[in-house]
Copies of this chain bind each other. A is one copy, B any other.
Amino acid sequence: MQQSISKIAVAGSGNVAWHLSEGLMQCGYQISSVWSRNQEHAKAFAEELGAKCCNQAGELCIDSDVIVIAVSDAAIAEIAQQLSGFEGIVVHTAGSVGMDVFDDGSKHCGVVYPLQTFSKGITVKLSEVPFFVEANTEEVLSVLNEMVSKLSAKIYVADSQQRMLLHVAAVFAGNYSNLMYGIGNKILDTAAVPHDVLYPLIAETARKALSSDPLNTQTGPARRNDRQTLETHLEALAGMPAFAMLYDVLARTITETYK
C-alpha cells in the first residue's frame, strides 16, 4: 500500500463516478483506468478522463494506488471480490453498504461517502460537499483523509451504522423533498398554472432550513391544525387519490408532531 497516492482507478460510470473522478482529476490525481458494466459508458468516460478503459474489473488493479467502486449498492460485493489480492486501497462510495462488503479479501479498504445529490451535466461544488470516511486501519484512514481533503473541506469519520442513518436522513431531506416539489408541479398542471410560481417558496423554505430548525419554522394548515382547510384540500385532491393519501399522511405527521 502506497502512503502517497497518485493513480486512481474507478469502477462505475454513473453520476457519483463521474463527479468524483472529475473532482479527483482537478485535484491533480491521475485517473489511471476505468471499468463499467456498460462498456459504451466506460469508453466515453475513459476518453473524457484520459484513462485506460478496462474490459474486466480485475484489470483496475494494474498500475493504480486506489480503486474507487462507485456502482449500485447491490453490485459492490461482486466487484470487491474481483479485486481481492489488490495491494492498494479499495473504497466504495455507498451510504448504505457496510465495511463488511470487503470481508472477502481486501487488505486495505474503506468508504468515501459524499452526501450530495449528483446528476449528470449539473456541476456540484465538491469543496462544499460533506464526505464521510471509514477505513479498516488507521493507516488507510490517514491516506483517505489526505485524498478527500483535497476535494472538500468537510470531512467526517463515520462508521457503517452512522453512514446508513446519514443516507436515510439524506433520502428524506433530498429525494423526498424533491418528490414534494414534483407533486407540487403536477398539481399546478391541473390548475394550468406555470411551475415557476413555486420557485420562491421552494427557495425560501430551503433557505430557512439552513438557518433555523425546520420544526420551529413550520407553517401551513397542518401546523395550525386548521381542520377546515385540511378537509378542503383533501376534497380538492379527490381526482388525484395517490396525492390525497400522501397529503393526509403528511398532515397527520405534522399535527402529531405539534400536539
Q: Is A184 an interface residue (CB 8 A)?
A: yes
| CB–CB B174/A226 < 8 A | no
Q: Is A118 an interface residue (CB 8 A)?
A: yes
The number of times this chain is found in the oligomer is 2
| CB–CB B197/A115 < 8 A | yes
Beyond A130-B197, A174-B205, whether A179 also contacts B219 by CB under 8 A is no
In the bound complex, residues from chain B placing their C-beta under 8 Å from that of A233 are 96, 164, 167-168, 171
Total residues of chain A contacting the partner, CB 8 A? 92
Beyond A177-B177, A179-B250, whether A188 also contacts B165 by CB under 8 A is yes
In the bound complex, residues from chain B placing their C-beta under 8 Å from that of A215 are 182, 185
- Nearest CB of B to A227, in Å: 8
- Which residue in B119, B197, B200, B220 is a CB contact (below 8 Å) of A171? B220
Q: Which of A3-11, A60-68, A134-142, A154-162 forms contacts with chain B?
A: A154-162
Q: Is A37 an interface residue (CB 8 A)?
A: no
Q: Which of A82-90, A102-110, A206-214 forms contacts with chain B?
A: A206-214
In the bound complex, residues from chain B placing their C-beta under 8 Å from that of A256 are 242
Q: Is A26 an interface residue (CB 8 A)?
A: no
